[in-house]
């Protein structure tokens, strides 16, 4: 495919490497063309163009700027009518520890607010009832994780022990505010199970390179 990459950061560099390696033709653009050149580097099949010249006949535009720059960067390309724009951005806060959109509260925080003395820990919300009923052992020796998030360390340790006692793998997901992440993770889990018809013996987890 012919692909235009907007943005010359780490993600842009990764796309140049992976896409040119399998023969895609890539055009890199950025406000700073020297940066675009550095990213395109010596990769065969990668070239650089100013924003207004970068679109050509690209079938796909990959938006690899930060979210704050996304709209102006796309507008700088000219008309995108009918073009496929792959949005890879996340609307991160300056410290990378929150989102600037859709991130104002969570069920867990509302519950904690309503019951000031209680030590609220978010947990098990990404475990479907059918998974809980059958237990933690999944295919290939994988164990279903239980993410837990809270602001009281001792309460979290107790929940961790509880999770371990029934054979699930406890995963510390930080402070209670991170329920703002865990609840949408569960939302996607429920979408896969019911909306996409994958069934209810599924669970989100994290994997590692080694």
* Residues 177 to 206 in contact with a copy of itself, rule: CB under 8 A: 178-192, 194-196, 201-206
Residue 117 in the binding site for a copy of itself (CB under 8 A): yes
What is the rounded (10 degree) CA torsion for 167, 173, 176, 180?
Answer: -110
Residues 143 and 161: their CA atoms lie apart, in Å, by 16
**What is the C-alpha separation between 3 and 55, in angstroms, rounded?**
8
Q: Identify residues 139-178 at the interface with a copy of itself (CB under 8 A).
A: 139-140, 142, 144, 147-148, 152, 155, 158-159, 161-162, 165-167, 172-174, 178
| 76 phi/psi in degrees, rounded to 5 | -65, -15
Q: Cβ(183)–Cβ(204) under 8 Å?
A: no
The single residue among 6, 11, 36, 58 that binds a copy of itself, judged by CB under 8 A, is 11
**Stated length of the chain:** 210
Q: Which residue among 53, 78, 134, 153 contacts a copy of itself (CB under 8 A)?
A: 134
Q: Applying CB under 8 A, does 13 fall inside the site for a copy of itself? A: yes
Part of the chain binding a copy of itself (CB under 8 A), chosen from 25-33, 35-43, 47-55, 138-146: 138-146
Distance from the Cα of residue 82 to its chain's centroid: 26
The answer to whether the CB of 185 falls within 8 A of the CB of 126 is yes
- The distance of Cα 207 from the centroid of its chain, to the nearest Å, equals 13
Q: Which residue in the set 37, 69, 138, 151 belongs to the binding site for a copy of itself (CB under 8 A)? A: 138
Min CB(51)–a copy of itself separation in Å:
14
What CA–CA distance (Å, rounded) separates 170 from 146? 5
**Subset of residues 64 to 93 that bind a copy of itself, contact rule: CB under 8 A:** 67, 70-71, 74-75, 79-92
Tell the smallest beta-carbon distance from residue 123 to a copy of itself (Å).
5
CA–CA dist 108, 44 (Å, integer)? 51
Q: Which of 6, 55, 121, 170 binds a copy of itself (CB under 8 A)?
A: 121
Q: How many residues bind a copy of itself (CB under 8 A)?
A: 119
CB of 21 to a copy of itself, least distance (A): 7
Q: Could you say whether residue 52 binds a copy of itself (CB under 8 A)? A: no
């Amino acid at each position: 495919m012919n692909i235009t990459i907007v943005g010359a950061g780490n993600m842009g560099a990764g796309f140049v490497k992976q896409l040119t390696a399998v023969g895609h033709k890539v055009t890199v653009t950025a406000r700073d063309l020297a940066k675009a050149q550095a990213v395109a580097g010596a990769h065969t099949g990668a070239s650089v163009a100013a924003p207004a010249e970068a679109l050509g006949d690209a079938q796909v535009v990959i938006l690899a700027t930060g979210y704050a720059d996304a709209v102006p960067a796309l507008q700088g390309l000219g008309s995108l009518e009918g073009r496929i724009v792959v949005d890879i951005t996340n609307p991160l806060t300056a410290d990378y520890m929150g989102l600037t959109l859709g991130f104002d509260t969570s069920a867990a925080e509302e519950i904690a607010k309503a019951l000031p003395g209680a030590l609220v820990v978010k947990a098990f919300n990404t475990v479907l009832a059918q998974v809980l009923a059958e237990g933690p052992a999944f295919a290939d020796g994988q164990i279903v994780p239980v993410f837990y998030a809270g602001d009281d360390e001792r309460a979290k340790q107790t929940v961790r022990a509880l999770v371990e006692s029934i054979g699930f793998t406890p995963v510390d997901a930080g402070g209670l505010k991170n329920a703002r992440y865990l609840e949408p993770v569960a939302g996607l889990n429920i979408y896969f199970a019911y909306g996409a018809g994958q069934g209810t013996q599924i669970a989100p987890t994290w994997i590692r390179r080694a």
